[in-house]
Every structure is written in structure tokens, then in C-alpha cells.
Structure 1
Amino acid sequence: MVDRPNKPSALAATPGLQPQAQVTISHGNSRVSASLPSGESIEILLYGATVLSWKDASGDEKLWLSEGAKLDGTKAVRGGIPLVFPVFGTAPDHEATSKLPQHGFARNSRWEFLGKSTSESSSNSVKLDFGLSSENLDEAARQLWPYKFGLLYSVTLDRESLKTALVITNEGDVPFEFQTLLHTYFRIKDISSVQIAGLEDSPYVDKVDAAKAKTQSSDPVAFSGETDRVYTPAKGPSHPVVISEGGAAKFSIVRDNLDDVVVWNPWIDKAAGMGDFEPKDGWKNMVCAEAGAVSSWQKLEKGDAFEGAQTIYLK
């Protein structure tokens, strides 16, 4: 080998790319997972585009998922973050959605995974996009709700937060009305020590008490029995709704264009009556604080779009 006097010297260290978020598709192409170099992770089931898991860097799970949840596409998932569209609950008096199953069809349909995107300036976030359109629905759902629409759902994992955003587009010639909700199940240790702030002095509908219209006191929401309330927070979507446990803040929810917050815990009897709610005392370890637009109907004309989002910050 000839020694060249002017050969380039080796670099002391070869510059490498920043570690990037890892995205994997598993379980027979039915789940998408993502993890950040720092350790945070999420897992989404394509059935319903349901977020099943959100863990911090230490592996601590932030979402409650029933041990009896059906993850095989036979029914909507009990836990995580199911998507409600185009109706909240049932609406027998609203002709367009009167025949739809509870909470509509978005959580019962298989979505497409549209891909991931990451920030060029940071390896600390990853966005996963999912799509559902009228063409993707089964024939039964199209018969029940014959409008042409497109849904784009984006799930963005950051080191300190999780953002879920939904864009709803009317792709047909006929206007339609809808409701939508991000049905987030938060994992907590003991519901008796949980309080939710940010709803003080706000009007709400008490679904446990014959759907009576009430007003929250100036105190945070606390739990001592079955709770099912639709709040319209007086301070608006940008004011944080904070879930605390034992006096320490755990989650802070900021909404964008979603005026309502549903607060739900089934307590003893309701949990016992749900076949997919396991363990039966799991109500002690979960609370739902659900950002949505459900107290009235949203209307989209031809070509119009609606966008709503929530960002959940870890405290």
C-alpha cells in the first residue's frame, strides 16, 4: 500500500444525525407506535384511531385502559382516547343522526395511517396522521349517515405533552351537522383524592340528574358518586382544565375550538353493569375529562372545515 503524503486525515468524530423518533406498525398492521429518543411513547389502534397508551420517559402510563377492552375491532375500545363523531351519545330527536349507534361511527371504523412527520429542529416530537372518509365506511354506516366527509386526525407526542387534533371537512354538496369529542380516560391512583379545576362557576348539564341545567360552584369538581356532566367552561377553551390528585397537579388540558368538557366517572353500579369495564373497581383509577363540541350542533356547508384540538400537558 502506497503512503500518500497529502491524504486526508480522518475526522476525530464522524458527525451523525440526531436520534430520531421511532415509528413501528405491529399486530398485523392494526397498531401504530411511536417513541422519542428520550423514552416517551404512544400507541394507536387503527380501529377507531384510538390512542391506547401514552407513557412518559420513565414508562409511567398516563391513560386508563380497561383490562376488558376489545382490541380486535369487534367493538369500540373502553379506555384510552376514543373519538366521538358525528354524534355524542344518542340523539333520537336529531333526524340526521337519530339512527346512529352511541357516539357515532368514528370509534368503530378502521382508519388509515397516513404517515409521520418530525421537526427538523428537534428530535423531541413526532406527529402521526390518520384519515377516515365516507368511502372508508362500511355500507351500513353509509346508509345511516349518507354525507360525504373527510376526517384528518393528528396525534403529536412531545416530551411534556400530547396533542390530539381533528379536522372535519364537508366533501359533499349537502350541508351536515355534527358533534365531536375526544373521550380521554386519564389514569389516576384514587378518584376520592382527585379534583378538577378550571370549571368553576361554569354552566353544566347533569346527566345523572335528569339532564338538569346547573352551575358549578366556585370550588373545583370533586367526586363522591357517579358523575356525568357536560360543562361549558366559563373562561373559554384556552383556560386550562387541571386534574389534580392529592393536591398535586397531574394534567393540564388546553382546548382549541372545543367549547365543552365532559366529566365522567361511572362509580360502582355503572361500572358493574359494563361488560368491558375491568377490573370492576377500576373506576377508582380513572377519570374522564373530555374536550369536545357537544352542547350544540356544528354545521358545515359544502367545502367547509372544522378544526378542534386538545393539548394535554404533564405537570
Structure 2
Amino acid sequence: MTLATHTTFGQLPAIHLKAPDGAEAIVTPYGAHLVSWKGADGRERMFVSAKSALDGSKAIRGGVPVIFPQFAERGKGMRHGFARVSHWRLDDSGLEDGAAWASFDLAAGDLPTSVADAWPHTFALSLRVAVRANELTMTLTVRNLGASPFPFSAALHTYHLVPDVCDVRIEGISSDEISIIDKLDEVYQHVPGRAQMTTGAGTLVLEQSGFLDAVVWNPGAVDAAALADMENDEYKRFVCIEPALLDPVTLDAGQTWTGSYRVS
């Protein structure tokens, strides 16, 4: 059985993972961007906007953008960093404990000169995506291959597909249950690391490690209408629950940081 095959998503080259039990994922090397995840039950669990560019001209709206080395405008660099609009390399793939997996790499030498000049550090990123049963695991690894320390922030900006955002209930991120009535953009720092989201379609357990924080976001009707890459009513069909490292962490020369997100 071939576990990882080449395919396309929109106009983008992509890798299709399929576990023996039927769980599937599609990842585009552009951004190492998870754009689809179906559990063994066959149900899609990732939202991607119908108006998103899928040709590499701009960041994909939906799925799981990899945020590095800056979160949003919290710095002087590119908004949300360069990782989500860079071309990663498929490193390896295989089967482990029943899970189909693939790993993607990005290094300083892969960046355009303009980006490398703006963030002149010697680094290597790796994203490993694994699927089995009704479980998705993403692991982001950052390595400092240079002689000097560098600071970075990171997040996995996950767009969870939901039947109706008004029915979503999130527990475990804050002391109170989180519901979404209108626009929501909240940062939660030093979260416990395990939460659950209940929707009209069931409950997802969300577990994170390495990432100290979480962000919950939905643009609401007004902000969604102002987004060129989103249909006006698409805000009703997703909620972003993002494992994040918001305050920059300094990584010493030769050191490695790892963050993971498991959804089941």
C-alpha cells in the first residue's frame, strides 16, 4: 500500500497521506500547509475558504498555516512570518503504529534573498504530519544551526471545520467555557495543554505540548465580509483554535525546540 502519493490541491502540488484504516490528509509543500484531514470515518475536519488562492500567490485561507518566526504583527517582520508562504521540501514518509506520516523541511538556504536578509539566521524547520483512526498529530521542530541565538514565535493556525460556529463550546483553555456569538479574537497564555471543542457534529479533544499559549479566533460577519479571500457567510463554518508560542523564545546556538498538536 502506498501511504504517501503526489497529487494537487487547486493549482498546488500536494502530498496525499492515507493510513491503512482510511484516515487521510493532504499537505501542500507550499507552506507545509495541511489543507485536508479526514478521519477513518471519512468526514472532513479542516476548513478551507472557497475563495482562497491555491496557486502559491498568497497564503492559503484555511487548513493549518505554519506561523514562524513571528505571530501576527508582534514584530517588525512579515505578518505571521515567512514559513506559511515558503516552499518546503518533502523529507520522508512512512507508517508508524498504524499512522501514515510525512515530514517537510525548510532551511535558511530555501528562502528568497529578500526574506533571508530580513531574518538573517541559520535555522531548520521540520513539520511532521501523522494521521490514523480519527486522530491528527502535527509536530513542529525548530533548530538553530548558527553560531548565535535567535528569538522566534510560532503557532499552528488551525481552522477547525464546524457545522455552525454558534453551537461551538470550548472547554479547558480558560477557566470559563468559551462560546462564539460574534467576532472573537482572544489570546490565552500559559494554557493547561488539553482542551475540548464540542460542536453539533461531536467533540474533539485538543492536546498541545511545547506551545505554551492558545488563540481562539473567528472574524464574525463584519470582518469576514471585509476579507477578500473569504465568502461572506463562511465564518459560520469554522473556528480557529491555535496552539501558539506568542512571547518570543530565544533559541541558543545548536539547540532545538519542538511543539506538537494532537487532535482526536
TM range (shorter): over 0.9
The 8 Å contact of residues 179 and 297 in structure 1, kept in 2 or not, is answered as yes
Distance 1:181 1:66, change over 3 A: same
Matched to 1:149, the amino acid is F
Distance 2:202 2:190 in 1: 19
Note the residue ranges of structure 2 that are not aligned, 5 or more in a row. none
Out of 84, 105, 115, the position equivalent to 1:131 is 105
2:255 equivalent in structure 1: 304
Secondary structure, in 3 states, of the residue corresponding to 2:154? Answer: strand
What are the Cα deviations for residues 151-209 of structure 1, in whole angstroms up to 9, with x where unaligned? Answer: 011001121210000110111112110000000000001111111000232xxxxxxxx
The 8 Å contact of residues 31 and 46 in structure 1, kept in 2 or not, is answered as yes
1:160 aligns with 2:134: yes
Q: CA deviation at 1:29?
A: 7.8
1:273 aligns with 2:226: yes
2:196 equivalent in structure 1: 242
Over aligned residue pairs, what C-alpha RMSD do you find? 1.5
Alignment of 1:51-70 (within 5 A): 51-70=34-53
Matched to 1:24, the amino acid is T
The 8 Å contact of residues 40 and 132 in structure 2, kept in 1 or not, is answered as no
TM (norm. structure 1) is 0.80
Matched to 2:196, the amino acid is V
The 8 Å contact of residues 21 and 36 in structure 1, kept in 2 or not, is answered as no
Out of 181, 184, 196, the position equivalent to 1:227 is 184
Over alpha carbons, which structure has the higher Rg? 1
The 8 Å contact of residues 198 and 233 in structure 1, kept in 2 or not, is answered as no
Alignment of 1:108-147 (within 5 A): 108-119=85-96, 122=97, 124-147=98-121
1:102 aligns with 2:79: yes
Aligned residues: 262
What are the Cα deviations for residues 19-70 of structure 1, in whole angstroms up to 9, with x where unaligned? Answer: x452111238821001122221100011000000001224210000000111
Secondary structure, in 3 states, of the residue corresponding to 2:79? Answer: coil
Matched to 2:245, the amino acid is A
The 8 Å contact of residues 42 and 55 in structure 1, kept in 2 or not, is answered as yes
Matched to 2:102, the amino acid is L
Distance 1:140 1:158 in 2: 39
What are the Cα deviations for residues 4-28 of structure 1, in whole angstroms up to 9, with x where unaligned? Answer: xxxxxxxxxxxxxxxx452111238
Q: CA deviation at 1:233?
A: 4.9
1:251 aligns with 2:251: no
Matched to 2:142, the amino acid is I
Out of 15, 18, 25, the position equivalent to 2:6 is 25
Matched to 1:264, the amino acid is W
Secondary structure, in 3 states, of the residue corresponding to 2:15? Answer: strand
Matched to 1:160, the amino acid is N
Q: CA deviation at 1:79?
A: 0.1
The 8 Å contact of residues 21 and 125 in structure 1, kept in 2 or not, is answered as no
Distance 1:197 1:249, change over 3 A: farther
Distance 1:77 1:29 in 2: 11
Q: CA deviation at 1:225?
A: 1.1
Higher strand share: 2
> Taking every aligned residue pair, what percent have the same amino acid on both sides?
30
Matched to 1:307, the amino acid is T
2:25 equivalent in structure 1: 42
The 8 Å contact of residues 81 and 182 in structure 1, kept in 2 or not, is answered as yes
- Structure 1 segments of 4+ aligned residues over 4 angstroms from their partners: none
Q: CA deviation at 1:126?
A: 1.3
The 8 Å contact of residues 72 and 80 in structure 2, kept in 1 or not, is answered as yes
The 8 Å contact of residues 159 and 238 in structure 2, kept in 1 or not, is answered as yes
The 8 Å contact of residues 199 and 233 in structure 1, kept in 2 or not, is answered as no
Distance 1:82 1:47 in 2: 10
Distance 1:249 1:59, change over 3 A: closer
